[in-house]
Amino acid sequence: MGQLDTSRVVGCELCTQDGGVLVVRTDKLRVIRALDDDHPAFYRVIWNDHVAEWTDLVPENRSHIMQAVAKVETVLREALSPTKVNLASLGNMVPHLHWHVIARFDWDARWPAPVWAPKQREVEGASQRLALPLAELDALVASALQAR
């Protein structure tokens, strides 16, 4: 298997827009922070070229994207001490390879259910409950991804 389809696809939202607050972009991938009031530390690691599945990548690129996912998770764990970090790669709605990396807290609106489940409770000001401001968290994520 190789990289099957590396063109931009008309109608694919991850081909035509960043998909959130751009934290860092490299030649192969980008990391964004999703705008989610209930889950403010919700990041996506997005492969720049349009491929639908992780196995569409050559092994070197599979390793590259997973190293990026691990770096984002490490920053979230070290900076925020979340109750759990959720990792997911679904693509049912947007078939463009991307990984969700989401810091979860026992106080968040959907805990312990998935972030896509109905709310369990209302939580006001979730971003203010984090251990540091989102701009600082974004800077830590960017720094980790730019370090070799």
In tens, the pLDDT along 6-48 reads 456 777 888 888 889 999 999 999 999 999 999 999 999 999 9
Cα distance between residue 92 and residue 135, in whole Å: 30
Cα distance between residue 24 and residue 56, in whole Å: 23
Tell me the pTM.
0.91
Q: Is residue 19 classed as helix, strand or coil in its secondary structure?
A: coil
Class of domain 13-146: alpha beta
Domain boundaries, the chain: 13-146
In tens, the pLDDT along 40-98 reads 999 999 999 999 999 999 999 999 999 999 999 999 999 999 999 999 998 877 788 99
Angular region, 25: left φ>0, alpha ψ -120 to 50, beta rest: beta
What are the helix (H) ranges across the chain?
13-16, 59-80, 134-146
